[in-house]
Amino acid sequence: MSADNLPQSLDVILVRGSSIQSTELCALQSVAMLQPVSFSHVVLSIGEGICLHATTTGIDLIRPSEFWTSDNYRRSNVVLRSKRIKTQAVTADLIKTTHEFIREAFGARYNPFFGIPKRWIRVKRWFCSELAADVLKRAGHEVVSNRALEQTWPGHFQRCRLQSDEWEDVTRIYDAYVEEITRGSTPDCADVFARTRYLTGEATFVLYKWAFPIMFDTDKILKDANALDAKLRATVAEIITATDAIRERTKK
């Protein structure tokens, strides 16, 4: 499988859950948007074998294959790739923007306040489609012009399928990828390439899953250390000022 036919960072996966809640969400979107909406969840690929998504339990990483193989989801997935974001020639700035956002969002709480302006909430929360729309906008592609991120729903991404000048349907790439790694997940798989692809994907996923919490803990430690350093500097400055004042009085 060539690099052109692999999952890429910032690919958008549209899925529909198998629960009654997912059906209800699709129905509500259909009424609000005056068109049939078939998807209840939006997932963002952040590279081969790794996705970022927001659920009621928070923002976490997940393997893309789960949306094709888990009973929690239907088998009618669609994957879109932005033509505005040239992921085939990824720049250092794009990589930096993507990873900074992931570090900002990973582990954050879910945003249940659909449509309510973000400035009113005053905390960093996202729901699924808002999360995807946010990072895409930061990378240079506004999903819906002049529409707030917190008002961007799975149905709006579904509309993007019709915008062939801005979006490419790459579902077939993910179908083939999942088929290959599923075959490679069998310990006695004779297909060396499929087995290697599976093991590489698993190693990458585990590394990210393990590394992100450590980075966040490190960020917090550094933030606390910088705050303590600033406080100590301020205290030392006050002591020096007070000492100088005492010396001046003594001289008099």
**Residue 149 · residue 137 · CB < 8 Å:** yes
Q: How do 58-62 and 167-169 pair as beta strands?
A: unpaired
- With a cut of 80, say whether residue 232 has pLDDT above it: no
Q: Report helix, strand or coil for 35.
A: coil
Q: Count how many domains the chain has.
A: 1
Domain range enclosing 157: 3-205
Residue 233: inside a domain: no
- Domain harbouring 31, CATH code: 3.90.1720
Please check whether residue 252 lies inside any domain of the structure.
Answer: no
Q: 79: which 2 tokens? A: 């994957």
> 163-178: b or e for each residue (b if 16 or more CB lie within 10 Å)?
eeeebeebbebbeebb
In a domain, 227, yes or no: no
The model's pTM is 0.79
Q: Is residue 171 part of a domain?
A: yes
The verdict on residue 251 lying in a domain is no
Nearest residue to 182 (alpha-carbon basis) of 13, 63, 43, 80? 63
Query: What pLDDT score does 224 carry?
Result: 60
* 46-94 residue pLDDT tens: 887 889 999 988 888 999 999 999 888 888 899 999 988 865 455 667 7
Q: Is the pLDDT of residue 246 over 80?
A: no
161-165: Cβ within 8 A, 24+ apart = 161/78, 161/80, 165/83
Q: What is the pLDDT of residues 126-153, one digit of tens each?
A: 999 999 999 999 888 889 888 888 889 9
Q: Is residue 213 part of a domain?
A: no
Q: Is residue 70 part of a domain?
A: yes
Distance CA 196, CA 2 (A): 14
What is the three-state SS of 162-176?
HCCCCEEECHHHHHH
Q: Which residues of 25-57 are buried (b: 16+ CB within 10 A; e: fewer)?
A: bbeebeeeeeeebbbbbbbbbbbbbbbbbbeee
Which residue shows structure tokens 């990873």?
99
Residue 248 lies in a domain: no
Q: Per residue in 175-193, pLDDT tens?
A: 999 999 888 888 888 888 8
